[in-house]
Amino acid sequence: MRVDVYSLATTRYRGDRVSSKITELMDLVRKLPEDCVDETIEFIQQKIEESDAKKPIPPCPHCNSGDTSRFGRKKDRQRYVCKTCHKTFGDTTNTAISQSKYGEAVWKQVIGDTLSGVCLDQTAESIGVSHSTAFHMRHKILLSLEAEETRAPTILNGVCEFDDSYVLENRKGSKLPEGYWRKARRHGAKAQSAGVSNEHIAICTGVQRDGGTICRTVNRATPSKEDLLGVFGNHMGQESLILYDGAPSYTALGKSCDCPVKNVREDGTKGGKGFYHINTVNGLHSFIKGRYDQYRGVATKYLNRYNALFSKAYGNGDDLIDKVYKILISNTSSLHRTVNDVKTFNLLDI
């Protein structure tokens, strides 16, 4: 029993679909005889302390000094002290999860479920929390990804493909105001009018082949030149080839960054067979639509948070969960650690 509990408690979650090891651990604990519960808890606490003792001592998050040492434990968590500024801190001080009572394994479970498109109710059940707690945990992750893109913007170089995708406006989780311009609709309903209209929210997407990805929403219906420059203008490298599919608005990108622009509909047979295409960005659109369906829609006001997730998740490898966790516990995400941030910060209003 001890080996099983420890192996489940220390599993590092990887892959496209995270296994619910925490749920398995909880099930095992529920089956324990009463006289074994205390012994099991002591064993897990001992293993946690041994694991903390093996970790390198982090620099001070207050003054960035490397002259730090271990300083006992508080609420079963390792504490450190800075010999320069004399302040104490923990592994998550000044991060988005500094006030969280959940450890690394639980947060990686939530990250894995978020990346995999698992619904919130399933995540909440697997880690034993309420729906609202799972919601707040997920959105802290999304806000941290947004903050990371602001801190270190993605730059597109080389062959870059651009196109826009559309989703229906969604007021999931809230009632329509009285006199709203459209009627309420069920999940899976279609737009009232054919073609692209103000019912549709544009997701402007750009992908560097074998490189970075940008997803951003700034408008309804078809994006204008000004919209595209606002999304991509500061993300273009000096040596880029811009490929687009028919929409003339994308020519403005080439003019703004002095890059060659090719319309794949007109130039698809030139420059070598199969070179001028936007298959990569179309693959991104399929990825977004698949995740969107798994989430059963995304409230439009939160869409750019999910766009940051789509940008990070598309085309990345098995170590993405670890990368996202490092972003989550970085100081750059520390502004987004309250429930109020989740409800109000940087909402999309179009």
Task: Give per-residue pLDDT as tens, 260-300.
Answer: 888 888 765 554 456 788 999 999 999 999 888 888 888 99
Residue 193 φ/ψ, nearest 5 degrees: -120, 155
Written as one string, the DSSP assignment of 330-344 is: SGGGTT--SHHHHHH
Q: In degrees, to the nearest 5, what angle opens at C-alpha 61 toward C-alphas 69 and 58?
A: 40
Q: Which residue has the tokens 């070598």?
A: 272
Beta bridge partners of 215: 205
Residue 260 φ/ψ, nearest 5 degrees: -65, 145
**Residue 119, pLDDT score:** 86
Ranges of residues in the chain with a pLDDT under 50 are: 1-19, 271-272
**Residue 17, pLDDT score:** 38
Beta bridge partners of 208: 160
**Residue 303, pLDDT score:** 94
Amino acid at 69: S
Beta bridge partners of 70: 80
**Residue 334, pLDDT score:** 55
CATH class given for the domain over 151-175+193-317: alpha beta
**Residue 273, pLDDT score:** 53
- Rounded to whole angstroms, the Cα distance separating 211 from 162 reads 13
**Residue 165, pLDDT score:** 93
Torsion of Cα atoms, 304 then 217 then 153 then 66, to 10°: -10
**257 contacts: CB under 8 Å, gap ≥ 6:** 233, 236, 237, 238, 240
3-state secondary structure at position 111: helix
Residue from 6, 92, 88 nearest 47 by CA: 6
Spell out the domain ranges in the chain: 151-175+193-317
- Rounded to whole angstroms, the Cα distance separating 236 from 155 reads 6
Q: How many residues does the chain have?
A: 350
**Residue 19, pLDDT score:** 47
- Rounded to whole angstroms, the Cα distance separating 1 from 266 reads 66
